[in-house]
């Protein structure tokens, strides 16, 4: 396809798949799209293992990695120890999280493993953490680095240029897009409020043309990937008529056969409607869209004000990981509470398919959408 994205990333079809599952990344790249591996939760040594596995299985096809290095978070620019981070979490928030667990017959002890994993997430948010991740990533044949929640740090932009790796940034507002283009990013991922995970509050249908019109006179050659609620090729085609050069999708891969999604949550997603998600700060401290459950309802209705990133994650993640583990063992209370990030497109995700089949369906649906449009001119 003659798309700026296809030319820049050397791919057949301008569909990018964000996933924490290496198998999905490989499958999408092999099918003609491009897998983007979510690396924010991984320490450098684990990231090296995952990228090595991808290299060994992807048959030389292009892939990328995704990081979160926000412009604002609690403690940015300060020398803070692990103990300092843990102590900064108010007892009120931990007590509230424990009360939700207790009301669903779940014990409230935290494990050291879960706590350390959550703290690793906090470390990786910093520019120093990102630098360690980038040092690992640049040893591998990646074609893209994507950053969420702000302008990429200078080292990311510099290393991208040095290694000829495109740097993408996620934006949820026109003003953010302008700042990203002025900073020198190569690709904009324009994510509407329908998106799973961190998102703004403007719909994809409005945001894509708004950003397209805002940046075309600043730097016309910066391609746009539309994101937010996109789970079909016809939606992708619609976004491209509004100025996008392709699509960035995350939620649609969560119900694929390769995905490592908790089977309990996967079943919930397959049964969910587009109204069964909520945009909330209760998971990370920043607004993110996730599957609605009694856990999210409790925070929205009765919970204390969410803490800034990364402190809120120290409250939510130990509990949610425990819920995740127990739900897979059949614990009824945990099954009720189980949730995960997912966008409003979940209402269109009704069958579990292989990632390669999803890509093929995108291609066919895209072609059918173009044919429908062409019929209006016959």
State residue 54's pLDDT score. 98
Number of domains in the chain: 1
Residue 92 resides in a domain: no
Question: Is there a domain that residue 368 lies in?
Answer: yes
Q: Flag whether 317 is in a domain.
A: no
**CATH number for position 201:** 3.20.20.70
In-domain check, residue 369: yes
Sorted by sequence, the CB contacts under 8 Å of residue 300 that are 6+ apart come out as: 278, 280, 282
For residue 149, the model assigns a pLDDT of: 75
In a domain, 157, yes or no: yes
Q: What is the pLDDT along the chain (378 residues), one digit of tens a residue?
A: 889 999 999 999 999 999 999 999 999 999 999 999 998 878 899 999 999 999 999 999 999 999 877 554 444 455 556 667 777 889 999 999 999 999 999 998 764 445 555 555 445 455 666 788 899 999 999 999 999 878 888 889 999 999 999 999 999 999 999 999 999 999 999 999 999 999 999 999 999 999 999 998 888 789 999 999 999 999 999 999 999 999 999 999 999 999 999 999 999 999 999 999 999 999 999 999 999 999 999 999 999 999 998 889 999 999 999 999 999 999 999 999 999 999 999 999 999 999 999 999 999 999 999 999 999 987
Range of the domain at 61: 4-73+125-292+339-375
Characterize 124-153 residue by residue with b for buried, 16 or more Cβ atoms within 10 angstroms of its Cβ, and e for exposed: bbbeebbeebbebbbeeebbbbbbbbbbbb
Task: Tell me the three state secondary structure of residue 277.
Answer: strand
81 lies in some domain: no
Task: Determine, yes or no, domain membership for 248.
Answer: yes
Provide the pLDDT for residue 112. 44
- In angstroms, what CA-CA distances link 342 with 27, 161, 233, 293? 20, 33, 18, 12
Whether 247 is in a domain gets the answer yes
> Under DSSP, is residue 41 helix (H, G, I), strand (E, B) or coil?
coil
- CA-wise closest residue to 22 among 69, 80, 67, 64: 64
**pTM score, two decimals?**
0.91
From first CA to last CA, the distance across the chain in angstroms is: 23
pLDDT of residue 111: 44
């Amino acid at each position: 396809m003659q798309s700026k994205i296809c030319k820049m990333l050397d791919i057949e079809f301008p569909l990018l798949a964000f996933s924490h599952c290496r198998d999905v990344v490989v499958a999408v790249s092999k099918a003609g799209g491009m897998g983007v591996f979510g690396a924010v939760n991984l320490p450098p040594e684990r990231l090296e293992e995952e990228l090595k596995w991808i290299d060994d299985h992807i048959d030389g096809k292009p892939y990328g990695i995704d990081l979160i290095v926000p412009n604002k978070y609690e403690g940015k620019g300060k020398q803070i120890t692990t103990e300092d981070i843990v102590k900064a979490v108010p007892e009120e928030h931990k007590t509230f999280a424990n009360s939700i667990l207790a009301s669903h017959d779940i014990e409230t002890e935290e494990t050291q493993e879960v706590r350390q994993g959550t703290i690793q997430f906090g470390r990786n948010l910093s520019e120093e953490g990102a630098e360690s991740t980038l040092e690992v990533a640049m040893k591998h044949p990646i074609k893209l680095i994507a950053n969420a929640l702000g302008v990429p740090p200078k080292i990311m932009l510099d290393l991208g240029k040095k290694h000829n790796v495109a740097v993408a940034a996620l934006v949820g507002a026109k003003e953010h897009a302008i700042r990203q283009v002025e900073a020198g990013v190569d690709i904009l991922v324009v994510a509407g409020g329908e998106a799973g995970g961190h998102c703004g509050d403007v719909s994809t249908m409005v945001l894509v043309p708004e950003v397209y019109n805002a940046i075309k006179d600043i730097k016309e050659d910066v391609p746009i990937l539309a994101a937010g609620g996109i789970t079909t090729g016809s939606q992708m085609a619609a976004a491209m008529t509004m100025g996008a050069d392709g699509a960035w999708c995350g939620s649609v891969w969560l119900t694929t056969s390769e995905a490592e999604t908790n089977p309990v949550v996967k079943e919930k997603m397959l049964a969910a409607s587009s109204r069964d998600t909520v945009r909330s700060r209760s998971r990370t401290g920043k607004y993110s869209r996730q599957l609605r459950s009694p856990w999210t309802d409790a925070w929205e209705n009765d919970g204390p004000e969410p803490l800034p990133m990364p402190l809120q994650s120290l409250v939510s993640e130990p509990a949610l990981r425990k819920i995740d583990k127990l739900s897979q063992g059949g614990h009824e209370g945990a099954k009720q509470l189980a949730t995960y990030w997912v966008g409003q497109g979940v209402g269109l995700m009704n069958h579990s398919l292989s990632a390669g089949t999803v890509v093929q369906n995108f291609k066919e649906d895209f072609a059918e959408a173009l044919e429908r449009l062409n019929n209006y001119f016959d």
